[in-house]
């Protein structure tokens, strides 16, 4: 962070591209950039994220003359104030002439040394570029003018610097509070304003509302159209928010596609709902991104800081919770914050922290639920189901934590942890002579699309012929990417059995089955459960079995709870049965003991 007294030293400097670098106290040529303005990134082509934290040598392009480079190094080492005009490269390699001025600064409180780099593009080198103070003086008249020329140049340079230094503070002060991309307030200014607004609420009772605003699917636009289009969208969106807000409202960009507005509460509550409505309705676009017109919806969370608010500084987090609720309800809408949301938000945050710890300690474990062969009554395979032994909440099933894990990007880690346990489990069963013929793992298409998945299978040490991959799909199987199709092909080549889970729920179609060509089809429990009471349900389930059989697939009936359901599913032609009738999901020890006790038999074989 740039110290305030450094900003004070460079106040009133002008409008060129500016950057500040903290230097080695013993060698001025060694420094790290800590700040730059938007003009600096525009001239160089580097984003602020490319520059901040990088060495000053980042600015030395391939086309800069070696002699000029060495002169700059010498002057930087000696802490000299100087200016040069050089042929240089932008980030993308384009050539340009730049006038670079270096000014040494000192932090009066700590003694730390800094460089102020001022950079402008020079379009007419002959007319606009000042002479290089290191260049040999013109002596065509036979006289030595070197001392006079150097003196005159220093005078002209100091006069220009005098004006520039008077203007810089205004620029730096403004840009320390201004978002470099959109021109509205940045997170730093937002934090200052939040303290100010909450202080006025406590002191003078001035109530206000917070609008937490997020562009729906911004990442998709950024990924498909490019970061430049994403930046254009953010800039235009920020202007749309500024147009909707009143002059006395505070508008800021917190980062990424997240924005916030503070609005003073008036006597009419409609002012708040009207602004929320306007943000949702009037910021949809179209936005001109390059040569495309793009629509983009918005979600908004609203929270109030009133005289009765116990913790007004929490109002932004409350608005964020309301935003999360709006998105969970389908996006393109706004929601008020409620105390129920606060409780849910706290629980989610606690769960997120616990999940991080669980991933670090590899706390997730596999549980197993048997699939029974209708003909023999023995276990055909065991489906692997993840469980989390939470230190306070006990054993948690996936539906209590997987959604949060997905939002945090932990699902792959959890899969890897559970999969890592399976080799050891199979070794234990094999060593004790207990037959665990196959294990089935649930895999989403996102995991199938991960290039590391096939490698994990190959390097696991598990015989592929003992492995069933059950595909859990949230989109139509016929819309699978080429990467997923390749992964399925690789699995088939390895000898892994492919199964499609939850068939009939709308996620899989016959066309998709033809493309993926599984060996096993699992009919979802919602179609099996009512087959005894409803003739319609029984016919529907029988039709699903018929579709699978016509494709040469083996059929699993899920959710079997009673002997009558098991017999009915077997009569329909199901090959395997799964459900609580044969056992709830169990840990490896319990499964081992059951298999050892009954030689793998879980059910009396079906008699035709």
Q: Which of 497, 482, 484, 503 is nearest to 444 (CA)?
A: 484
**Confidence at residue 152, expressed as pLDDT on a 0 to 100 scale:** 52
Q: Which of 347, 387, 345, 351 is nearest to 367 (CA)?
A: 387
**Confidence at residue 58, expressed as pLDDT on a 0 to 100 scale:** 83
The DSSP line for 304-365 is EE-TT-S-GGGHHHHHHHHHHHHHHTTSSSEEE--HHHHHHHHHHHHHHHHHHHHHHHT--E
**Confidence at residue 172, expressed as pLDDT on a 0 to 100 scale:** 56
> Residue 121, SS3?
strand
CA distances from 45 to 48, 94, 431, 498, 563 (A): 10, 9, 63, 49, 71
> Residue 292, SS3?
strand
Distance CA 321, CA 402 (A): 19
Residue 169 contacts by C-beta under 8 Å, 6 or more apart in sequence? Answer: 7, 8, 10, 11, 12, 13
Distance CA 303, CA 460 (A): 50
**Confidence at residue 134, expressed as pLDDT on a 0 to 100 scale:** 41
**Confidence at residue 28, expressed as pLDDT on a 0 to 100 scale:** 79
Residue 306 contacts by C-beta under 8 Å, 6 or more apart in sequence? Answer: 201, 207, 265
> Is residue 183 classed exposed, middle or buried when 0-12, 13-18 and 19+ CB atoms within 10 A define those classes?
middle
Q: pLDDT tens for residues 73-119? A: 878 888 888 888 888 888 888 888 888 999 888 877 777 888 888 88
- Stated pTM of the model: 0.53
Distance CA 583, CA 605 (A): 16
Contact 287, 306 (CB under 8 A): no
How many CB atoms lie under 10 A from the CB of residue 394?
A: 8
> Residue 536, SS3?
helix
Contact 182, 253 (CB under 8 A): yes
CA 310: distance to chain centroid?
33
Sheet with 27-36, strands from edge to edge, namely 27-36, 17-24, 113-122, 95-106, 82-89
**Confidence at residue 138, expressed as pLDDT on a 0 to 100 scale:** 52
- Grouped pLDDT means (10 residues each) for the chain, 608 residues: 69 70 82 87 88 85 74 82 87 88 83 87 59 46 52 54 53 68 90 92 92 90 83 94 94 93 85 92 91 91 88 88 86 85 73 91 95 94 95 90 82 87 92 94 80 85 93 56 80 93 66 80 91 90 91 94 94 95 94 92 71
> Residue 55, SS3?
strand
The DSSP line for 228-283 is HHHHHHHHHHHHHHHHHS-TTSEEEEEETTEEEEEEE--S-THHHHHHHHHHHHHT
Contact 492, 529 (CB under 8 A): no
Contact 129, 99 (CB under 8 A): yes
* 3-class secondary structure per residue, 507-527: CCCHHHHHHHCCCEEEECHHH
Q: Which of 511, 520, 452, 512 is nearest to 492 (CA)?
A: 520
Structure tokens at 437: 């013929």
Structure tokens at 539: 């016919």
Distance CA 341, CA 395 (A): 25
- Would you report the helix, strand and coil content of the chain in percent, each value rounded to 5? 45, 25, 30
Token pair 């059910």 is found at 603
């Amino acid at each position: 962070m740039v110290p305030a007294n450094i900003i004070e030293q460079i106040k009133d400097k002008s409008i060129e591209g500016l950057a500040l670098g903290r230097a080695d106290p013993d060698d001025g040529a060694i420094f790290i950039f800590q700040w730059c303005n938007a003009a600096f990134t525009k001239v160089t082509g580097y984003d602020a994220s490319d520059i901040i934290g990088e060495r000053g040598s980042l600015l030395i392009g391939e086309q800069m003359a070696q002699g000029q480079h060495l002169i700059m190094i010498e002057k930087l080492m000696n802490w000299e104030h100087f200016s040069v005009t050089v042929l240089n490269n932008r980030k993308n390699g384009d050539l340009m002439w730049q006038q670079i001025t270096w000014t040494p600064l000192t932090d009066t409180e700590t003694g730390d040394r800094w460089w102020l780099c001022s950079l402008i593009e020079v379009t007419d080198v002959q007319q606009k570029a000042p002479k290089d103070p290191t260049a040999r003086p013109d002596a065509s008249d036979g006289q030595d003018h070197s001392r006079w020329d150097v003196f005159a140049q220093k005078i002209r340079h100091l006069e220009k610097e005098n004006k520039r230094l008077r203007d810089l503070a205004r620029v730096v002060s403004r840009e320390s509070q201004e978002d470099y991309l959109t021109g509205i307030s940045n997170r730093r200014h937002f934090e200052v304003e939040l303290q100010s607004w909450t202080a006025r609420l406590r002191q003078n009772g001035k109530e206000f509302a917070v609008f937490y605003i997020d562009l729906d699917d911004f990442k998709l636009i950024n990924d498909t159209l490019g970061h430049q289009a994403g930046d254009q969208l953010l800039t235009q969106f920020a202007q749309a928010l500024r147009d909707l807000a009143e002059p006395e409202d505070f508008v800021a960009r917190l980062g990424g596609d997240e924005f916030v507005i503070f609005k003073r509460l008036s006597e009419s509550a409609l002012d708040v709902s009207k602004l929320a409505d306007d943000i949702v309705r009037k910021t949809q676009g179209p936005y001109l991104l390059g040569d495309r017109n793009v629509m983009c919806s918005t979600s908004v969370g609203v929270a109030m800081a009133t005289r009765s608010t116990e913790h007004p500084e929490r109002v932004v987090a409350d608005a964020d919770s309301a935003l999360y609720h709006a998105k969970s309800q389908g996006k393109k809408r706004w929601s008020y914050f409620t105390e129920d949301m606060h409780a849910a938000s706290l629980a989610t945050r606690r769960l997120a922290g616990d999940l991080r710890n669980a991933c670090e300690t590899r706390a997730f474990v596999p549980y197993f639920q048997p699939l029974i062969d209708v003909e023999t009554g023995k276990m055909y395979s065991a489906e692997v189901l993840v469980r989390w032994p939470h230190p306070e909440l006990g054993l948690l099933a996936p539906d209590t934590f997987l959604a949060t894990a997905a939002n945090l990007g932990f699902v792959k880690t959890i899969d890897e942890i559970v999969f890592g346990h399976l080799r050891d489990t199979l070794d234990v069963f094999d060593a004790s002579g207990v037959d665990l013929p196959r294990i089935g793992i649930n895999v989403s298409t996102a995991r199938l699309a991960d290039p590391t998945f096939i490698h994990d299978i190959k390097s696991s040490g598990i015989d592929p012929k003992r492995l069933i991959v059950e595909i859990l799909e949230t989109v139509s199987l016929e819309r699978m990417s080429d990467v997923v199709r390749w992964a399925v092909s690789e699995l088939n080549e390895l000898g892994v059995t492919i199964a499609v889970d939850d068939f009939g729920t709308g996620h899989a179609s016959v066309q998709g089955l033809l493309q993926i060509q599984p060996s096993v089809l699992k009919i979802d429990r919602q179609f099996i459960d009512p087959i005894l009471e409803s003739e319609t349900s029984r016919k529907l389930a029988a039709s699903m079995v018929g579709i699978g059989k016509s494709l040469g697939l083996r059929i699993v009936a899920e959710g079997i709870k009673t002997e009558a359901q098991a017999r009915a599913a077997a009569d329909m032609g199901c090959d395997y049965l799964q459900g609580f009738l044969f056992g709830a999901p169990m840990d490896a020890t319990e499964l081992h003991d059951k298999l050892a006790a009954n030689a793998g038999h879980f059910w009396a074989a079906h008699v035709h």
